[in-house]
Structures are given as structure tokens and as C-alpha cells.
Structure 1
Amino acid sequence: MGILSGNQQDEPMHYGEVFGLWTYLTGIKGVISAYQTYMNHVGDADLFKLIEDMVDDARREELEIEQVLKENGVGLPPSPPERAYSNPEEIPVGARFNDPEISALIGRDIATGLVACSQIIGESTREDIAMLFGQYHTNKAQAGAKLLRLNKEKGWLVLPPLHMNTPHPV
């Protein structure tokens, strides 16, 4: 039996896996903090619920990744403080994120998260880590589909210019 066989949790993580997990965890901690702030600005109940669900998913990811890193003797990145709750109506209009802006920022985060998960999957030699990030990738893709549907329903989807003039074969 070689080093890459047997119980996955007994295999050492290579430096790429350590860096990938540590960096992803740092990003997740930032996402939780940012989304808590967005929740203070959002006015739409459906968008609020989506953000709330995404924070719950991010917290679950945070705990799972922290556990893997701890088990492998890797120090954890610092966590930002929890955000206080506020009433969106108390935030001045010029200082407040509007719902379409928040939705666009979340869409960007989902796309970035999908790429990050794919990269970690591709770099992993430990199957347990690859499978964990496969789950995260699937969850993010589902959140992206929900966000797309919400953007369409609310009229927030901004389309790029449509290419209507396609060349005709000669």
C-alpha cells in the first residue's frame, strides 16, 4: 500500500490542499461578514431569505473546513466580528446598498466560489477533500440557480447586449 491508499483522513494534506482550504476558509469568513451586512440593507423578503440560507451554508462550510484543518495541525485564519442587526429604513438612502446591487454582488461571489471549489477539487489528492468541495460546488450552483430565478422575477437581471445579427452562410 502506498501513501495515497487507505483511509483518506490518515493521508497527509499536501501544501496545495492546505493553501486551498485555508484561503477558501478566509473567503468564507469574509462572505459571512459581508452577507450579514447585506442583510441589514436588503428590503426584499425573498432576497433576505436567500442571503440567510447562504449564510447558514457558509457557516456549515466554515465548521467543516476548520475541522479538517485542525485535524491536520493547520492554524486557522482570524474571524471577523459578528455584525449587529439594524433596520434598513434607518440607513440613509445614499449610504444604503439597494437590492439589485446586493443581488449582483452575491452573483459575483457565487461565480467566484464555483471557480474556487473547482480548483480545490482539481488540486486535491485526498478524495475526502475533493468530495467535500464537490458538495460545496453543487450547493453554490443551486444557490446560483435560485438567484437567477429571483433576479428574473424581480426584474433585476441586467442582460448584456443581445447579438441579433448572426452571419448567414454563403
Structure 2
Amino acid sequence: MTTIFEALKDYLQLNLDVEPKNPLHVGEVMSCWTYLTIVDEANIYIQVALNTTTDDDVIKSLKDSFKQCDAHGQWFRDFLIAEGIPLPPTSEQRPLSYSQAVPLGVKMTDDEIMNGLGIKTAASITHCAAAVSQCIRNDIATMFTQCMLEKMKFGASLKDLMRQRGWIKVPPYYYPPGAPIKNA
């Protein structure tokens, strides 16, 4: 069965070849520029996190996210350069360091690392969805759709690990006035 996302991606892909390539409008430029900043800055966060954790599952999640952000970043860098758009400035890369040498008051906990990664993943998904809705050019909408689907897949695996470890932050449950309270 075809999902709505697959149908959207297929529709956009079919129309790519026949669509005229107009210049990017300011919203498309801003969306691309912002997404590149998001993934590049996420990789800086991941480099810092890799320097502080020793947990194998956390390291695997961080490396998976780094690889994905790096691929998305390169895709958008190449696209923006081809369109003549200047690239956003980003933070400096972090060198690999020994996690035991990081003082405890500076070191992030695995819970903090994974929640930060979860927030960055959710922000990426939300940004991609908003960008797709604003794109006129199908090639750009397809790029954002692809990135969003990949981020959603990664986010699902991240949520599973966070649930297993008890790291998910759950807001208070809402019970409408007058509704029977269910025992959790």
C-alpha cells in the first residue's frame, strides 16, 4: 500500500522533468539556507556529544545522525552553490577527544545528549514539512520530502532507544474536565 508520503514524492518526481527551472524565490532560498544551517550545526553538537559519551548505543545513534546530516548538508551545499546562493556560516568542526578527560561539570549525560538529538531531529522534520508547503519548484520540494522521510525514519529508531532507556521527556497528561480518569 502506498503511503501519502510516497504518493507525494512520486507526484513531485513525475513533474520534475517538465517543470521550468525558475529562479528560487526568497522563501525557497531561506528554507534551503536554514536547513543547511540546521544539519551543519547538528553535526557540531554530535561531535561534542561523541566526545562525552561512552555508551555504544548512543554512539551508534550519533554516528547514524552525523552520516545523515552530512549527506543532507552536502546535497544542499551543492544545490545552493549551483543556484549561485552564498552558503551560511557555521560553527567550526570539533576535534575528536577522549571522553574520560572531559570534566563532569562540562560533560553532557547520555539522557541530555539523546534528548538534544531528539529535539534537533524533530526540528528538522518540522522545518522540512514547512519548506515543502512553501516550495514552488518541485525539485526543491522533492529534496525536502526526501530529507523529511529520512529524518522521520531516524527519529523512529531514536524514539525506540530513548523509550527503552527511560530518556523520553513526557509532558503532563491532559484530562479534559469531566472526563473519567484512566489509570495509567
Q: What is the TM-score with the length of structure 1 in the denominator?
A: 0.88
Letter in 2 for 1:97: M
Q: CA RMSD in A?
A: 2.1
What CA distance in whole angstroms lies between the structure 2 residues aligned with 1:83 and 1:6? 41
In 2, distance between residues paired with 1:159 and 1:19? Answer: 32
Quick one: which of 84, 88, 91 aligns to 2:102?
91
1:8 shift after superposition: 4.7
Structure 2 Cα separation of the partners of residues 158 and 15 of structure 1: 36
1:74 and 2:74 aligned:
no
Find the aligned partners of 2:114 and 2:48 in 1 and give their Cα distance: 13
Call closer, same or farther: CA 1:5–1:43 in 2, change over 3 Å.
Answer: closer
| Aligned-residue offset at 1:34 | 1.2
How many residues align? The count is: 165
Q: How far apart are 1:40 and its partner, in Å?
A: 0.6
Mark the runs of 5 or more structure 2 residues left unpaired by the alignment.
1-14
Name the amino acid aligned to 1:167.
A
Q: Which of the numbers 103, 112, 124 marks the counterpart of 2:123? A: 112
2:24 alignment partner, one of 1, 4, 13: 13
Give the residue type in structure 2 aligned to 1:120.
A
AA aligned to 2:94 is R
Q: Write out aligned runs for 1:1-170 (5 A).
A: 7-8=18-19, 10-163=21-174, 167-168=179-180
The CA distance in 2 between the partners of 1:116 and 1:167, in whole Å, is 35
Partner letter of residue 58 of structure 1?
C
Using the size of structure 2 for normalisation, the TM-score is: 0.81
User: How many percent of aligned residue pairs carry the same amino acid?
Assistant: 28
Cα deviation, residue 11, structure 1: 2.6
What residue ranges of structure 1 are gaps of 5+ in the alignment?
none
